[in-house]
């Protein structure tokens, strides 16, 4: 069993990279043992503690969009500063089949990079659709290319790539790519659209959901969605595939 750190442990930031005007990547000086799709709780003492999906585990990499007070404070952090992490928690993605279609909306694309790298290492072929509102918000395209993925871009304003939302591009590509599994991470509406595509084409999918978390390990109930705990049953929900193995 991989080690899970239940008390926050300090990691020094070794590098910070701007991905877009709203998104930064933090490379940390330290390692965890994690599955793509798993998350960590990031603590800024005196501020708050929030869940973030891992973009890499050795070294630990986090890609963070500035969406509120906590992420604004996180964006102020520089190399040499310390972040406290506990985890990794949750059920991540499992790599099934040989032809994978990944669909990421906005900053939701970040954990899919971790999945893409692992899948390619295992000999899978990986297509990724990166969707965003505009060209400026498309992130990590170069990293996916370097990892060996076929990259497809979609913007809602048509400023780059396909003009439309990521699931619309997915529905055009599915007949030609014939993926074994669809993997998704992004806004709720995108996940629902992928769920529909999944059942329409009879292709299993694995979708990563978000929730407001406190404990991160399945006791407080804060992240409950109709009896399903995002932190412990998820964050990855398998649709139309084999039932998710879990502690429950």
Q: Among 17, 31, 45, 163, which residue interacts with another protein (rule: CB under 8 A)?
A: 45
* Residue number with CB closer to another protein (45 or 79): 45
Q: Does 1 bind another protein (CB under 8 A)?
A: no
Site residue total, another protein (CB under 8 A) = 32
* x-or-dash string of contact with another protein, 72-91, rule CB under 8 A: ----------x-x-x-----
N-to-C CA span, the chain: 17
Which of 150, 159, 222, 244 is in the footprint of another protein by CB under 8 A? 222
Give me the DSSP letters along the chain.
----EEEEEEEEEEEEEEEETTEEEEEEES-----TT-EEEEEETTTEEEEEE-SEETTEEEEEE--SHHHHHHHT--TT-EEEEEEEESB-----SSEEEEEEEGGGGHHHHHHHHHHHHTT-EEEEEEEESSGGG--SHHHHHHHT-EEEEEETTSSSSEES-HHHHHHHHHHHH--SEEEEES-HHHHHHHHHHHHHHT--EEEE-----SSSSSSS-TTEETTEETTTT-BEEEESSSPPP---
Among 5-13, 128-136, 153-161, 197-205, which window interacts with another protein (CB under 8 A)? 5-13
Which one of the spans 1-9, 28-36, 132-140, 143-151 is the region binding another protein (CB under 8 A)?
1-9
For another protein, the closer of residues 90 and 186 by Cβ is 90
State whether the Cα torsion 27-32-36-40 is positive or negative: negative
Q: Is 67 in the site for another protein (CB under 8 A)?
A: no
Binding of another protein by 10 (CB under 8 A): yes
Site string (187-216) toward another protein, x via CB under 8 A? --------------------------xxxx
Figure out which of the listed residues 30, 211, 218, 241 binds another protein, where binding follows CB under 8 A. 218
64 is a contact residue toward another protein (CB under 8 A): no
The single residue among 68, 79, 158, 221 that binds another protein, judged by CB under 8 A, is 221
Q: How far apart are CA 223 and CA 109, in angstroms?
A: 21
**Cβ contact 40:56 at 8 Å:** no
**Residue whose CB is less far from another protein, 21 or 227:** 227
Nearest to 201 by CA among 162, 166, 170: 170
Q: Which of 82, 200 has the CB closer to another protein?
A: 82
User: In whole angstroms, how close is the CB of 9 to another protein at the nearest point?
Assistant: 9
Residue 224 lies near another protein (rule: CB under 8 A): yes
The residue ranges that bind another protein (CB under 8 A) are: 6-8, 10, 41, 43, 45-50, 82, 84, 86, 213-222, 224, 226-229, 247-248
């Amino acid at each position: 069993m991989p080690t899970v750190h239940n008390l926050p442990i300090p990691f020094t930031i070794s590098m910070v990279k701007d991905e877009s005007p709203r998104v930064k990547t933090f490379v940390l000086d330290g390692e965890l043992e994690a599955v793509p799709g798993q998350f960590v709780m990031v603590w800024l003492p005196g501020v708050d503690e929030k869940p973030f999906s891992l973009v890499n585990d050795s070294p630990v990499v986090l890609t963070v969009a500035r969406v509120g007070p906590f992420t604004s404070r996180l964006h102020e952090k520089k190399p040499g500063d310390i972040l406290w992490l506990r985890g990794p928690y949750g059920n991540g993605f499992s790599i099934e089949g040989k032809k994978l279609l990944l669909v990421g909306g906005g900053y939701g694309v970040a954990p899919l990079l971790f999945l893409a790298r692992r899948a390619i290492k295992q000999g899978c072929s990986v297509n990724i659709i990166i969707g965003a509102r505009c060209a400026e918000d498309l992130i990590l395209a170069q990293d996916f290319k370097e990892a060996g993925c076929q990259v497809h871009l979609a913007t809602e304003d048509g400023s780059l790539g396909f003009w439309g939302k990521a699931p619309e591009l997915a529905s055009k590509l599915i007949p030609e790519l014939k993926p074994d599994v669809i993997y998704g991470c992004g806004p709720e509406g995108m996940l629902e659209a992928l769920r529909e595509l999944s059942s329409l084409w009879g292709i299993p999918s694995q979708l990563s959901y978000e929730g407001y978390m406190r404990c991160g390990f399945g006791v407080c109930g804060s992240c409950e969605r109709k009896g399903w705990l995002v932190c412990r049953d998820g964050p990855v929900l398998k649709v139309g595939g084999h039932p998710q193995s879990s502690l429950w």
